[in-house]
Amino acid sequence: MLLPITIAVIRVPPTWLLRVAILVTLASGMIACTPPEPLRIGFLGGLSGRVADLGIGGRNGAILAVEMRNQQGGIKGRRVELIAEDDQQDTEVARQAVARLLARQVPVIIGPMTSAMAMVVVPEINAAGIPLIAPTVTTNALTGIDDQFFRVVAPTATHVLKSAEYHFVEQGLRRVALVCDLRNKAYSESWAGDFRKAFAAMGGSIVAELGFDSSDSLAALATKVLARKPDGVMIIANSVDTGLLVQQIRMRNASVRLGTAEWAATERLLELGGKAVEGLVVAQYVDRESKAAAYLSFRHAYRQRFAQEPGFAGLTAFDATNVALDALAGQSSGQTLKEAILAHGEYAGAQSPIRFDAHGDTRRDTFLSVIRDGEFRSLR
């Protein structure tokens, strides 16, 4: 008896269906292998013009922090990308630059590098509701305000006393003239006001207080300053104008004592000032002779990457960027970045720890140096 034979019928799908299936499989694989969108953060600083050394140093410090974080895997599996904008130390340009960064939906902006630009952009940042972490803004006008503004250096009221005390006690100055750059008025007026108050409290007097801007002759300014016969002149200006003004003063008076605020303390001051700035007392946000391992590691990495000294701009921008990256890494669901920054507690800066108060202000020591043999040498 013959047994029934079962025949299996294999249905072959049409060619077009096979092609679709293959394409879907390939597309799924490509999606799975596509890296996530980069996490973009902003940087704002003067990258051109007279204060470009400050802005470029700050941008480089931010770049270094981002590159080092990406070498460690980025933030939550995403690479970090820095979008840098040039504010040109100009009010309208700064506003437009912030608008472009906000249009890119950055969660945080590092900068700006001057107090004048901070006063311009902080209202825009507050309206957008994202943090602004400033590396070098010290104006007292932004102190103690519950807003989106953070800074990794202290306001002038907490550190100018050190300069006033040194010039009164160590150098014996009693009659001092102040020269202020009006293009960064928010900074220069804060610094001058705090110096005036501290110096007067010790028994000294301010015999002249002169402001200048880009239209003024530095030669004429030097003559006006010296006409009041001060025994010391404090210059509160950027590195370029400080170096050039010191040259003009030295041509007229070789013995008057000269000092600066922290803003001038970049390598550009040494380059432009030449022999005229020898003996100039310079306030600093960075201890250039620090032997701390973290600082030496940072300085080595910065010099390897950019073939120049980081100075205070590179250091503080590196710190500010790492604050942002640490907060982004620790931000939890439903938490604003401002809340994450404040909740983090102490941050490990390259030279000193950073801890914010409830208003985004912090404390940071300053250091005094003197220019000798074309280098900054520590005084304390």
CB 67 within 8 A of CB 81: no
Instruction: Give the H or E element holding residue 28.
Output: helix 15-33
> Which residues is 175 bridged to in the sheet?
205
Q: How many CB atoms lie within 10 A of CB 203?
A: 8
CB 45 within 8 A of CB 54: yes
Q: What pLDDT was estimated at residue 5?
A: 39
Residue with the two structure tokens 């030669």: 219
CB 346 within 8 A of CB 354: yes
CB 262 within 8 A of CB 366: yes
Q: Which residues of the chain have pLDDT under 50?
A: 1-10, 12, 20, 26, 30-31
210, 250, 248: which is closest to 228 by C-alpha?
210
**Secondary structure percentages of the chain, helix, strand, coil, to 5:** 50, 15, 35
Q: How many angstroms separate the CA atoms of 92 and 12, rounded? A: 68
Angle at 53 between CA 49 and CA 54, to 5 degrees: 100
> Which residues is 259 bridged to in the sheet?
234, 281
Asked if residue 155 has a cis previous peptide bond (ω within 30° of 0), the answer is: no
Q: What pLDDT was estimated at residue 227?
A: 96
CB 101 within 8 A of CB 110: no
Q: What pLDDT was estimated at residue 190?
A: 96
Write the DSSP string, 75-130. BTTB-EEEEEEE-TT-HHHHHHHHHHHHHTT-S-EE--SSHHHHHHHHHHHHHHT-
> Is the CA virtual torsion 347, 350, 353, 354 positive or negative?
negative
pLDDT digits (tens, 9 = 90+) for 284-305: 999 999 999 999 999 999 999 9
- Residue 139: DSSP 8-state: -
Q: What pLDDT was estimated at residue 8?
A: 44
Which residues are within 8 A (CB) of 13 and not within 5 positions of it... i.e. 6 or more apart? Answer: 21
Q: What's the token pair of residue 219?
A: 């030669």
The CA-based dihedral angle spanning residues 256, 259, 265, 269, taken in that order and rounded to the nearest 10 degrees: -10
Q: What pLDDT was estimated at residue 50?
A: 85
Which residues are within 8 A (CB) of 83 and not within 5 positions of it... i.e. 6 or more apart? Answer: 40, 41, 42, 43, 101, 104, 106
Q: What pLDDT was estimated at residue 129?
A: 97
CB 236 within 8 A of CB 263: yes
Residue with the two structure tokens 């400050």: 54
pLDDT digits (tens, 9 = 90+) for 159-197: 999 999 999 999 999 999 999 999 999 999 999 999 999
Q: What pLDDT was estimated at residue 6?
A: 40
